[in-house]
Amino acid sequence: MNELSAKVITAINEVAPALWHSVFTSDYPFYKHEFLNALEQSKCVSAEQGWQPLHILIYQDELLIAALPCYLKSHSYGEYIFDWSWADAYQQHGLDYYPKLVSAVPFTPATGPRVGIHPKFNSQQAQIFALLVSVIEQLQSTYKTSNWQCLFALSQQSLELEKLACIRRTEVQYHWMNRDYHNFSDFMAKLTSRKRKAINKERNAVLSNGITFNWLQGNEITRAAWQQFYQYYKNTYSKRSNHAGYLNSEFFTQLTSALAEQVLLLQAIDSEGKVIACALFFRTKTHLYGRYWGCSAEFEFLHFETCYYQGIEYCIRENIQCFDAGAQGEHKLKRGFEPSLTFSNYLLSEGPFKNAINDFITREKKHHIDYIEQAKLQLPFKSG
């Protein structure tokens, strides 16, 4: 067996797209070379923004056989797995929690492959993971980081990391699953009468205002449509967080060419033909991912219709199996989104809080498992 070697690059465009896609072979959109490059080229992801790229490449001789996107972080924003209390504990004891290393899709809490492996080298998976962790440990030493985090990993990849002393952490998300529904009415027929009435009330409230919806895909999304969406996106972040959001106009306008038919923009149009709300989605053959939304006018239940019900209808129409509408949101339960565990892994540097954090993660996992059993009782489906 030829020896493996590793290389760390500081920009995704240091590796050719074709080579990158030889190891990330699925249609998962958020680790496409074009998506990561759009983040970097637009400067949404950069050292100045607290996301310094340190992507790890694994070679056998001259052939790229594996890759792991990685970032040196100087904060915990844009991750959706919370460790603020850990950072506070470090600070209170005069210790540095930042920088840390993070392998994740910036600003995107969507489970997917975190390690890309060339299909011909799947039999060397254990050796590849071991080398990756070794490189991470070297980066931890070089940059004096408190930990490395691999967020929203595929379950099997998370288990491989757990074998290498990267403790496994859980979180709960809510995903709508397509149970071979033929149409929205077929889905509604599976719900209890009370829940059907509640959803019909929400949908009719939007319809009674004369609002219609228009899906744009790929090149159908014009620069003007992106500019309008971006304004609504900024409005949403301004209301929620008092800032303009993590992403800029340049990033969004690059998506049309970057992801072609995988990017979708849904427009809500009022009775006068004006676009009053937009929602951004990404799709694969099996998944629909809901990401951002914004509006110019407040209508009752417009958010639920735009971000949930229209997405459910799209999945049924396109035979898409899973709708991931974003992180958190217990209110999704009564709209048919089922609770499920997500998995992340942590490699903690030696320090006074290592054992405490390990203990917290263990207790948190039990809490999440118990919570899911309770949350299932809130689902709107008929028994059986």
Query: Residue 297: which of 278, 311, 281 has the closest Cα?
Result: 278
Q: Is residue 229 part of a domain?
A: yes
pLDDT band for position 313 (cuts 50, 70, 90): very high
Average pLDDT over residues 352-361: 94
Shared-domain flag, residues 27 and 153 = yes
Distances (CA, A) of 218 to 29, 253, 261, 361: 13, 11, 4, 41
How many whole angstroms separate alpha carbon 380 and alpha carbon 384?
Answer: 12
Q: Is residue 185 part of a domain?
A: yes
Per-residue pLDDT reduced to its tens digit, 261-287: 899 999 999 999 999 999 999 999 999
Shared-domain flag, residues 40 and 156 = yes
Distances (CA, A) of 223 to 251, 252, 267, 276, 291: 12, 9, 14, 17, 19
Q: Is residue 384 part of a domain?
A: no
Does the pLDDT value for residue 233 go beyond 80?
yes
State the chain's maximal CA–CA distance in angstroms: 68
pLDDT for position 328: 83
Q: Is residue 213 part of a domain?
A: yes
Does the pLDDT value for residue 337 go beyond 90?
yes
**Average model confidence (pLDDT) across the chain:** 96
Per-residue pLDDT reduced to its tens digit, 27-73: 999 999 999 999 999 999 999 999 999 999 999 999 999 999 999 99
Shared-domain flag, residues 145 and 211 = no
How many whole angstroms separate alpha carbon 58 and alpha carbon 346?
Answer: 21
pLDDT band for position 238 (cuts 50, 70, 90): confident
pLDDT for position 54: 98
Shared-domain flag, residues 164 and 186 = no
Query: Residue 262: which of 83, 98, 31 has the closest Cα?
Result: 31
Range name among 1-10, 264-273, 358-367 with the lowest pLDDT average: 1-10
Shared-domain flag, residues 131 and 188 = no
Shared-domain flag, residues 252 and 349 = no
How many whole angstroms separate alpha carbon 140 and alpha carbon 179?
Answer: 44
Q: Is residue 330 part of a domain?
A: no
Q: Is residue 230 part of a domain?
A: yes
Straight-line distance from the first to the last Cα atom of the chain, in angstroms, rounded to the nearest whole number: 53
pLDDT for position 177: 98
pLDDT for position 363: 97
β-pair type (212-217, 263-269): antiparallel
E strand residue ranges, the chain: 4-9, 51-53, 55-60, 63-68, 71-73, 100-103, 116-117, 147-153, 167-177, 212-217, 263-269, 275-283, 287-295, 322-324, 338-348
Q: Are 381 and 192 in contact (CB under 8 A)?
A: yes
Per-residue pLDDT reduced to its tens digit, 151-196: 999 999 999 999 999 999 999 999 999 999 999 999 999 999 999 9
SS3 290: strand
Final residue of a structural domain among 270, 287, 320: 320
365 burial level (CB within 10 Å; 0-12, 13-18, 19+): middle
pLDDT for position 34: 97
How many whole angstroms separate alpha carbon 220 and alpha carbon 215?
Answer: 9
Shared-domain flag, residues 77 and 187 = no
DSSP secondary structure of 81-135: S--HHHHHHHHHTT----SEEEES-TT----B-SSEE-GGGGGGHHHHHHHHHHH
Q: Are 70 and 56 in contact (CB under 8 A)?
A: yes
Range of the domain at 348: 4-174+340-378
pLDDT band for position 1 (cuts 50, 70, 90): low
Q: Is residue 332 part of a domain?
A: no
pLDDT for position 384: 67
Shared-domain flag, residues 109 and 57 = yes
Tokens 């849904």 identify what position? Answer: 266
Shared-domain flag, residues 187 and 316 = yes
Average pLDDT over residues 321-334: 94
Average pLDDT over residues 237-255: 89
pLDDT band for position 327 (cuts 50, 70, 90): confident
> In this prediction, what percent of the chain has a pLDDT beyond 70?
99
Q: Is residue 247 part of a domain?
A: yes
Shared-domain flag, residues 34 and 131 = yes
Number of domains in the chain: 2
pLDDT for position 242: 77
How many whole angstroms separate alpha carbon 338 and alpha carbon 340?
Answer: 6
Shared-domain flag, residues 28 and 140 = yes
Per-residue pLDDT reduced to its tens digit, 92-128: 999 999 999 999 999 999 999 999 999 999 999 999 9
Q: Are 148 and 140 in contact (CB under 8 A)?
A: yes
Average pLDDT over residues 327-334: 92
pLDDT for position 280: 97
Which CATH number covers residue 310? Answer: 3.40.630.30
Shared-domain flag, residues 154 and 29 = yes
pTM, entire model = 0.96
pLDDT band for position 85 (cuts 50, 70, 90): very high
